[in-house]
Chains A and B, each alone.
Chain A
Amino acid sequence: MAETITQAPETVNLTIDGKKVTVPKGTLLITAAFQAGADVPYFCHHPRLKPAGACRMCLVRIEKMAKLQTACTVPVSEGMVVDTLSPEVKQAQQGILEFLLINHPLDCPICDRGGECPLQNMTFQYGPGVTRFIDEKRHFPKPVPLNDYVSIDRERCIQCSRCTRFQAEIAGDGALAIESRGNSAVIAPFSLDGFQSHFSGNTVELCPVGALLSRPYRFQSRPWEFHSTDSVCSMCGVGCNIAVQTRTNQLMRVNSRLNEDVNEEWTCDTGKFEQYWVNSEERITTPMIRRASVLKPCSWDEALTAVAEAFSSAAKSSSNTVAGIGSTRTSNEEAYLFQRIFRTALGSNNIDHRMHDFPIRPMETSLAAIGEAKAIVAIGFDPKQYLPVVWLRIYKAISNGNATYAHVSSVDDPAVEAALAVGEGAILLTDDHIASADLDKLTKRAKSAGAKINVLLPDNNSWGAILMGVLPDRLPSLQPVGNGARPKFEALWGGPVPDKPGLATWDILKAGAAGDIRALYVLGSNPVASFPDRDLAASALEKIPFVVVQDLFLSESAQYANVFLPASSFIEKAGTFTNIEGRVQPFGAAIRPVGDSKPDWQILSELYARLGASAPFFGPADIAREIAHSADKNTFAGDRR
C-alpha cells in the first residue's frame, strides 16, 4: 500500500454515495462527484473560475465534519466519505433554492433565459411546489443597459458572482463589480464608464439566470425554437468555435462552443454581437449586370455567362490580362477553387489576396502555449483590440503563471530585450505589419535566446488563403509555382499550370491603372477600401474594362463592377477556415442562402463549368477531398496542433 501511495502521490481515493472514485490531487469535490455520477446542483461554481462557495446550492455531507460543506470549494482528500443524496442534504439544497426564489421574479415566460435557465431547471428538479414567501419582492430598476450589447435585469440576479469573477479572473479587466451589499447588492460596471470590456458577452452565457441579457437577442427567440449549428467565427483569425443559432432563416444568436485549444469556451464581443450583418436588409441577393452605366438585376445565367465570356476572351488574347483578387474571409474550399480556375481555365498566376506585403511565417507556438508563457511582448499591435481572444491567453499567463507582459510599438523597445532575457518560455507576438527586416532581426535574437515568435494574421481565413495558393508565386501548400510540385498539380487539375509567378495585388492594380488588365475578378475583397493606396485601387478598377465583384454588399469596389455576383454569408454554407495557428476548422450551414445569393464555392463552380471544366464540384466536401489529396499534411489537417 505504502508503495503504491509513494508511486502515485498525485491521486486521491474517496467514496461518494458509496461509489469509490480516484481523482487527481487538488480536484474539487464537486468535480469528483460528477465523475462518480452524483448530481450535485450548483450555480456559482464554474470550473474555469476560482471557487466562490457563494450560492451554497452544492451543500453535501462529508463524514466527520460538523457542518454540510459546499462541494464546489472543498478539495478532495484521501479517504473522504461523501453523501450527496441523504434527506438532510436534499432538504438543505431545497432550502437554498427557496431562498433564491423568494426574490426572483416569476417572469420565466418572457425571460430570454427561459428554457435554458439553470435556475428554472433546478427549480423543476429540486424546488418547492409552492411558495411560503408572501411579502414584497425586492425591486430594482430594470432592465438597465450596461453597454451596447449587454443589459442587466437586477431583480433576477442571484449574486453568484460568475460575471464579476469572469471579468476579473479571465478577461482581466475587472469591468464589473458587486456594488453595495447584502440585500441591496447589485452587479455594476463603474458608473461613469459603463461595461467597458471586449468580453462582456461571455457574462451573458455565464449568468445562470436571465439577469445579464444580450441586447441584440432580447425578445427575439426562445431557445427551443431555434436551430443551433456548429460554426467558426468569421470575425478574426483566432477562429473561435461558435454555435450559430438561427430561426426563420435568420441569425438569432451566436454562442460560444467549447474548444480547449482555441477559445476554451469564450468569445469576444465582436464575435458574439457583430455578426448580425448576415441578416442585413442591405445585402444584395440577386445578380446584377451593368447596363447603360447602371447595375440592374439579372439572372444568374446572364451574369455568369457574361463573366465567363469576358474572362475567356481576355485570357485568349493574353493570360496576363486577367487577374483575380481573392479574400482572407472565404473558405479554404473557395480559395482553392478560385486559384484553380485562374491557373487552369485562364492559365494565369495573376492572383493574390494580400493588401500589402508581409512575411509569411507560421506561428511558432500554439495559442494554448501563449497561456503558459513566462514572458510575452506584443509588438506593434494591441491584442485586446485585434484578436481579442489571444488576450485571454496572455492574461492567463499573467494571472496563473506570473508572466510579464508588455505591449510596445517597436522591436527595439527595452521590454523586448527583457522578455528575451527570460529565454525559453518567452513569446513575442507581432502582426502582419512588421517589416521583414525587423522580423529577421528579431528572429535572430529570439533564436539565440530560445524564445518564440508568432506573427499573427488578422482574418478568419488569412492562413487559408495563403495555404490554398491564392498567391501569384505559390501553389497550394506554399509550393513555388516554378518548382517540382507543379507537375503534380497539373496532373491533378488536368492541364498546364503557368510556371512564372503572376502579379501581386499591387502589381495587378498598377497594371490595371496602366490599362494592361482587361478583366479583374474581385472575390470577397474590397481593394478600393482596403488597399493602402486607395486612389490607385480606384483608378485601376475604373480603368479595367471588365470587373466582376462577388460579395454580400455593394462595396466601394462594387461601384466599379460590370457584374455583381451576390454571395452567401458563412452561415449559409459549409466549409473550413484555417486559423492563425494553421488549424483547419469545419463550419456547417445554418440557414439556406438568403434570396438568390449563392455560396462562393457554388458560384465559382458554376463559372468553372462555363469556362469548360469537365468535372465541376458539387459541394464543399468535394473540393475538400481534392485539397486533402493534393495538399501536404501540414496544410489541411484539422489536428495539426
Chain B
Amino acid sequence: MSEQPQILFKYRNVENYNNIDVYMKHEGYAAARKALQMEPDAVIEEIKASGLRGRGGAGFPTHIKWNGIPKNWDKPHYLVINADEGEPGTAKDRELMNKMPHLLVEGCIIAARAIRSNRCYIYIRGEYMEPGQSVRKAIQEAYDKGFLGKNIQGSGFDLDIHVHMGAGSYECGEESALMSSLMGERGMPRHKPPSAPLPVISGVWDSPTIVNNVETVATAAPILNMGGAAYGKIGSGRSLGTKLFTVSGHVNKPANYEFVLGTPIREILETAGGPLNGKPLKFFIPGGSSTPLFPATDKFLDLPLDYETMMANGSMLGSGGLMFFDEGVSVPALMTRLMHFYAHESCGKCTPCREGTNWLTKIHDRIMAGGGRHEDIDLLLDICNNIGGRSFCALGDAAAMPIQGALKYFRHEYEALIPDRSLSSRIYAPLPVAAG
C-alpha cells in the first residue's frame, strides 16, 4: 500500500487539539501569521501553486475563485464558509469542526486575507449544533489570542467571524441558496451567469463574495505551512493534494480518511477494513449520493479516485462520500429512498426538479409496491433527461444522475421487480370528482 501523507489529519489524534494552546503547539496559527505578512495576491499565488480545488463537490480551482474578487472596490467583501454538509455519504466537515475547529478558523484568516475580506460567516447546517458550539468556542479563543478582531497580530488587518446556523435544508448547501439563507430568505438558489454576475462580483448583499467548503479553507493552513509548490507535488494531473473521504456503508472500518487524490479505490476499501464481514460487494458510490454509482467490479475498484477519472467514467468525485454496498442491497430500493430524499429537499422553485423528483419518487414507490410497468423504466430515464441540465440549480441534476447510473448498470434489478404481465400503459385512473 502506498504511503498516505496526512496533511489535514496530521494531528488528528492529538488530545485536545481543539484547544487553541494545544493547536498552537502543533504549527497552529503559523500559517495565519505568515499570510498576514504577505500581500493578499501572494497568498493566492501560494494556493495557485498548490493546485487546490474546491472540496465541496464541484472541484473548482480555488485560486481562480479567489482571484475573481475585484481588487479595488470600496464595497465590503464577504467570505462565506459552506459547512452545510448535507450530501448523503459525506461527514468529513463535521469531524473537522468537532475535532480541529482551529484549522477552519485559521483557514478563514488566510482566505479572508487573500480576498481582502473583513467579515466571514460560517454557515453550519442546523443539525450540527455540536460542531457549531465547537467552532464558536474556537472563534472565541482566537479572538482572545488576538487572531481575530481588529488589527490582528499588529498586521493592520481586521477580521470578524460569525457562525450562522441553518435550520434543516439540503438545498442550502448549494452556494447560491446558501447565500439566500444567510440573508434571511428561503433557501432558494439565485441567478448565475449568464443571468447574473458571479458571486465574486455580486454575492451576499450585492457584494463580492466567496463561498468555500470547510475542507477547502481548512487546507489553506497546511498549504501555507508546507508551501504551495510542495503541496502541489502530491497527487497528479489536475487532482493535486490530499482529500478527506468519508467511507461508509458495508465496510469493516467506516470512517473519515485522508488520501492522496488518485489513490485507487481498492486501496481505500482495504484501509477501511474491506467489505463488512467479508460479504461480497455489489456496487459503490464514489462521491456522495448525487454521483452515479459503479458496480464493485475489478474494473471500477481499480480506478484511481480523482476528479478526472471519475468524470471520464461517468461519475464524479463530488464531496468525497465513498459508500460501499454489499449483495444484500437492492438498487431500486436504495434509489427509492434516495428519490424520497431529493423530493423532500427540492426547494420547489423550478418545475423540473419540483415535479420531476416527485414523479421519480412515485414511480419508484409504485415499482417497489409491485405496480411497475415495463415502460416505467424508460419513463424514468426520460424524466431524468428532462430534469438534467434544465433545472434552476444542480439539485435537479443531483437527483437525476443517481438514477441514470443505477439504470446503466442495474436495469435488470428494476425489470425483475416488474410483474410479468404488468398492466399496459393504458391505465385509466378513476375520474376525480370535480371540485371547483
Contacts and interface: CB of A to CB of B under 8 A. Distances in A.
Contacts of B348: 159, 178, 180-185
B350 interface: yes
Interface stretch (A99-107, A483-491, A546-554): A99-107
27 contacts: A54-B349, A69-B195, A73-B191, A96-B352, A96-B386, A98-B386, A99-B351, A99-B355, A99-B386, A100-B351, A102-B359, A103-B355, A106-B432, A107-B435, A107-B436, A111-B436, A135-B363, A142-B435, A153-B436, A178-B186, A181-B169, A181-B346, A181-B348, A182-B354, A183-B343, A183-B354, A183-B357
Contacts of A526: none
A324 interface: no
Interface stretch (B229-237, B272-280, B389-397): B389-397
Contact of A67 (B169, B358, B362, B390): B390
B416 interface: no
Given A134-B427, A143-B436, A53 B350 contact: yes
Contacts of B266: none
Nearest to B191: A73
Contacts of A219: 436
A92 B434 contact: no
A221 to B, nearest CB: 14
A70 B195 contact: yes
Interface string B374-386: 0000010010011
Shortest Cβ-Cβ A-B pairs, 4 listed? A95-B386, A73-B195, A99-B355, A185-B348
Contacts of A73: 191, 195-196
B345 interface: yes
Most central of A56, A70, A111 by chain B CB within 10 Å: A56
B344 A182 contact: yes
A135 B358 CA distance: 11
A134 B355 contact: no
B220 to A, nearest CB: 30
Interface in B314-354: 343-352, 354
Interface in A46-101: 51-57, 59, 62, 65-70, 73-75, 77, 92, 95-96, 98-100
A110 interface: yes
Contacts of B186: 178, 181
B390 A77 contact: no
Given A135-B366, A182-B346, A182-B357, A95 B390 contact: yes
B356 interface: yes
B355 A100 contact: yes
Most central of A92, A110, A135 by chain B CB within 10 Å: A135
B167 to A, nearest CB: 12
B194 A56 contact: no
B378 to A, nearest CB: 10
A54 B393 CA distance: 10
Contacts of B355: 99-100, 102-103, 183
A639 interface: no
A54 B386 contact: no
Contacts of A107: 434-436
B429 interface: yes
Contact of A99 (B356, B362, B363): B356
B386 A136 contact: no
Contact of B392 (A54, A66, A110): A54
Interface of B is mostly: loop
A132 interface: yes
A77 B194 CA distance: 9
B194 A65 contact: yes
Interface string B252-263: 000000000000
Nearest to B186: A178
Contacts of A159: 348-349, 351, 354
Contacts of A110: 434, 436
Given A51-B195, A135-B359, A183-B348, 20 more contacts: A51-B191, A54-B349, A55-B351, A56-B350, A56-B391, A57-B351, A95-B352, A96-B351, A96-B386, A107-B436, A111-B436, A132-B379, A132-B425, A143-B436, A159-B351, A161-B349, A181-B348, A182-B344, A184-B348, A218-B436
Contacts of B358: 103, 138, 182-183
Interface in A134-154: 134-138, 142-143, 153
Contact of B347 (A99, A132, A182): A182
Contacts of B187: 181
Given A96-B390, A110-B434, A133 B350 contact: no
A470 interface: no
A158 interface: yes
A134 B390 contact: no
B352 A56 contact: yes
Interface size grouping (class) on chain B? 35 or more
Contacts of B196: 73
A423 to B, nearest CB: 26
A135 B386 CA distance: 18
Nearest to B397: A67
Interface string B159-177: 0000000000100000000
Contact of A74 (B194, B352, B357): B194
Interface in B6-32: none
B195 to A, nearest CB: 4
A159 B350 CA distance: 8
A135 B379 CA distance: 13
Contacts of B352: 56, 95-96, 99
Contacts of A68: 389-390
A436 B432 CA distance: 66
A218 B435 CA distance: 13
B433 to A, nearest CB: 10
B357 A135 contact: no
A110 B436 CA distance: 6
A218 B436 CA distance: 9
Interface string B385-425: 11001111000000000000000000000000000000001
B268 to A, nearest CB: 31
Contacts of A181: 169, 186-187, 346-348
Contacts of A75: 194-195
B364 to A, nearest CB: 11
B57 to A, nearest CB: 17
Given A54-B350, A95-B352, A218-B436, A59 B344 contact: no
Contacts of B194: 62, 65, 69, 74-75, 77
Interface string A216-250: 00110000000000000000000000000000000
A218 B359 CA distance: 32
A53 B195 contact: yes
Given A56-B350, A59-B390, A153-B436, A136 B362 contact: yes
A180 B351 CA distance: 16
A53 B195 CA distance: 9
A182 B343 contact: yes
A161 B196 CA distance: 19
Contacts of B392: 53-54, 56
A137 B430 CA distance: 12
Nearest to A98: B386
Nearest to A138: B358
Nearest to B353: A182
Interface string A324-366: 0000000000000000000000000000000000000000000
A59 B388 CA distance: 13
A154 to B, nearest CB: 12
Contacts of B349: 52, 54, 159, 161
Contacts of A103: 355, 358
A158 B435 contact: no
Nearest to B194: A74
Nearest to A105: B432
A138 B191 CA distance: 28
B381 to A, nearest CB: 12
Interface in A180-231: 180-185, 218-219
A122 to B, nearest CB: 12
A180 B187 CA distance: 11
